[in-house]
Amino acid sequence: MSGLRARQKADRHRRIIEAAAALFREAGYEGAKIEAIAAQAEVSIGTIYNYYQNKGDILGAIVSMEVNEVLNAGRGVVANPPANVGDALDTLLGIYVEHSLHYLSKEMWRQAMAISTQLPDSPFGQAYTGLDRALTEQIRALVARLQEIGLVRQDIDGPALGELVFNNMNMMFIEFVKRDEAKIPELRAAIRRQNRILVAAIVVCEESGADRRNP
């Protein structure tokens, strides 16, 4: 019975999040009402408040779902990255960027960023920071893997490099969500262009024995 209850609870969570994501897109974050979310999710208003204190908590759950999905997708890249540093970074960051508007609109991202900035010590703010940290850690793990297989110089501070890559991508993503007219291919091209400079500085030169694919 406990397994059935857990599945039912997970199903309600999913329905609420999916209904909220759809309504936030259609009506805007401020325009979407809890009553409408409950009706679309086919749950009672009380059920929503059993799980979430307010719309901000629901938005936070949507952001968490978004980030956890890209983290899951990114694990395969870390485990078996392309045999080119630029391609490896582009593949992982591409997963993050391409999925970014799957559940959230730019307006929803702006709202989430505003809440996390204005209330950094709130549960939402702390959760948002934790998600950023998880993405940073995955990029750091990719860098470590690339060092392990001999594609990135061993003398490079891998953790700092991972932070640098994430921070640069994150700043460019913030600029991207500020402008409704900005398109994902433009963002990816800009990230790729800047990362080329970084890759040139960290890649192991062929003449020094770069092709050490097997650790």
Taking only the tens of pLDDT, the chain with its 215 residues reads: 668 777 888 888 899 999 999 999 999 999 999 999 999 999 999 999 998 999 999 999 999 999 999 999 999 999 999 999 999 999 999 999 999 999 999 999 999 999 999 999 988 999 999 999 999 999 999 999 999 999 999 999 999 999 999 999 999 999 999 999 999 999 999 999 999 999 999 998 754 444 444 44
Task: Answer yes or no: is 4 within a domain.
Answer: yes
Residues 12 and 95 in one domain: no
Whole-Å CA distances, 23 to 31, 93, 116, 139:
9, 28, 21, 32
Question: How far is 161 from 167, CA to CA, in rounded Å?
Answer: 10
Task: Answer yes or no: is 158 within a domain.
Answer: yes
Phi first, then psi: give them for residue 203, nearest 5 degrees.
Answer: -75, 145
Q: How many domains does the chain have?
A: 2
Question: How far is 126 from 147, CA to CA, in rounded Å?
Answer: 31
Residues 25 and 124 in one domain: no
Task: Answer yes or no: is 64 within a domain.
Answer: yes
Question: How far is 106 from 194, CA to CA, in rounded Å?
Answer: 23
pLDDT at 206: 53
Residues 62 and 75 in one domain: yes
Residues 48 and 60 in one domain: no
Q: What angle do CA 76, 80, 81 make, to 5 degrees?
A: 100
Identify whether the C-beta of residue 24 lies closer than 8 Å to the C-beta of residue 108.
Answer: yes
pLDDT at 211: 45
pLDDT at 209: 44
Question: How far is 132 from 170, CA to CA, in rounded Å?
Answer: 9
pLDDT at 1: 61
Task: Answer yes or no: is 213 within a domain.
Answer: no
Task: Answer yes or no: is 27 within a domain.
Answer: yes
Range of the domain at 29: 1-52
Task: Answer yes or no: is 186 within a domain.
Answer: yes
Identify whether the C-beta of residue 148 lies closer than 8 Å to the C-beta of residue 154.
Answer: no
Residues 85 and 27 in one domain: no
Question: How far is 157 from 198, CA to CA, in rounded Å?
Answer: 13
Its pTM stands at 0.89
Task: Answer yes or no: is 215 within a domain.
Answer: no
Q: What angle do CA 137, 63, 121 make, to 5 degrees?
A: 75
pLDDT at 52: 92
